[in-house]
Amino acid sequence: MDGGYLAEMLDLDGEVLADHLSAVTEWIAGHLGDRSVHRILDLGAGTGTGTFALLSRFDQAQVTAADASASMLEHLTDRAFDRGLGARVRPRQVDLDAQDLPAGPFDLAWASASMHHMTQPEKVLAELRTALAPEGLFAMIEFETFPRFLPDDIGLGTPGLEERCNAVADRMREEHHPTVNSDWSTRLSENGFVVREERTFGIDLPAPLSTVAVRYARITLSRLREGAGEELSAEDRATLDALLSEHGPDRLEARADLSVRSARRAWIASPA
């Protein structure tokens, strides 16, 4: 259900949730203490949301940004040069299910919203154990709750639209990515890692949203419409279309009641 929206959605995610990302990298830095961080691996880097947050937190570091998608890496590389960070980013096109991890040793590895995409996470974790430097850490983040933007009753159609959309999307995600709701703590432990800490980072941006956050809502709900729309009732589809219309009176941009509510689960682990 990625359509053409994924790259823009990932960029907006990084921009709108910059404070959240900063809180996560600060938490990781706390675990690293005074160890210096020179080499970082971003697994499934996408458009570089994590890569740039890590470069900003660890100012001596270079990030190897690994992703299977050439277009994601091209986008990430362009952004790195636009920000004057080209020399600190090493893009590597690699299908982590089939090919070896980029060579380490890495002081820190990061995987945000990417491990559930791997069809063989055990393989990736086994390679990661040897790619990490002594005392190296693995930080992993997955969605606990996918972003919600609408109030329950939007004054159009039947209340609960977004919950129904997300119920369909959650089911489809689980069909495509069977590990999406894994107990990652157990999975990490069973694959030779010690989980040092696990916690939830809540995200709550109140109404009214900034223009860029409303754009994030539009792109996210457009992806839901594209991916899950056919499984919704005709009434819900029509309501979603009214919200997503560019110029109609019910378009998202005309609403002052949108907010961003989400939660992400994060783990910090090291090889046993």
23, 68, 172, 263: which one contacts ligand SAM (CB under 6 A)?
68
Nearest-approach distance from CB 71 to ligand SAM, in angstroms: 9
Nearest-approach distance from CB 237 to ligand SAM, in angstroms: 25
Q: Which is nearer to ligand SAM, 26 or 97 (CB)?
A: 97
Conformation bin of residue 155: beta by default, left when phi > 0, alpha when psi is -120 to 50: left
Tokens read off for 38:
């020179």
Rule CB under 6 A: say whether 271 interacts with ligand SAM.
no
Rule CB under 6 A: say whether 91 interacts with ligand SAM.
no
Nearest-approach distance from CB 61 to ligand SAM, in angstroms: 17
Rounded to an integer, what is the distance from CA 244 to the centroid of its chain?
23
Of residues 35 through 54, those in contact with ligand SAM by CB under 6 A are: 44-46, 49-50
Q: Which is nearer to ligand SAM, 119 or 245 (CB)?
A: 119
Q: How far is the C-alpha of 188 from the C-alpha of 186, rounded, in Å?
A: 5
Of residues 18 through 37, those in contact with ligand SAM by CB under 6 A are: none
Q: Which is nearer to ligand SAM, 104 or 151 (CB)?
A: 104
24, 55, 65, 72: which one contacts ligand SAM (CB under 6 A)?
72
Nearest-approach distance from CB 154 to ligand SAM, in angstroms: 27
Q: Which is nearer to ligand SAM, 95 or 122 (CB)?
A: 95
53, 118, 165, 260: which one contacts ligand SAM (CB under 6 A)?
118
Size of the site for ligand SAM (CB under 6 A): 19
Q: Which is nearer to ligand SAM, 66 or 154 (CB)?
A: 66
113, 140, 219, 269: which one contacts ligand SAM (CB under 6 A)?
113
Nearest-approach distance from CB 138 to ligand SAM, in angstroms: 14
Tell me the longest C-alpha to C-alpha distance in the chain.
59
Does residue 24 contact residue 268 with C-beta atoms inside 8 Å? no
DSSP string, the chain: --TTTHHHHHHHHHHHTHHHHHHHHHHHHHHHTT----EEEEET-TTSHHHHHHHHHSTT-EEEEEES-HHHHHHHHHHHHHTT-GGGEEEEE--TTTSPPPP--EEEEEEES-GGG-S-HHHHHHHHHHHEEEEEEEEEEEEEEEEE-S-S--SSSSS-HHHHHHHHHHHHHHHH-TTTT--HHHHHHHTTEEEEEEEEEEEEEPSSPPHHHHHHHHHHHHHHHHHHGGGS-HHHHHHHHHHH-SSSTT-GGG-S---EEEEEEEEEEEE-
Cross-strand pairs, 67: 93
Q: Which is nearer to ligand SAM, 35 or 123 (CB)?
A: 123
Cross-strand pairs, 89: 63
Give the residue at shortest CB distance from ligand SAM. 46
Q: Which is nearer to ligand SAM, 95 or 241 (CB)?
A: 95
Binding site for ligand SAM (CB under 6 A): 10, 13, 44-46, 49-50, 67-69, 72, 95-97, 112-114, 117-118
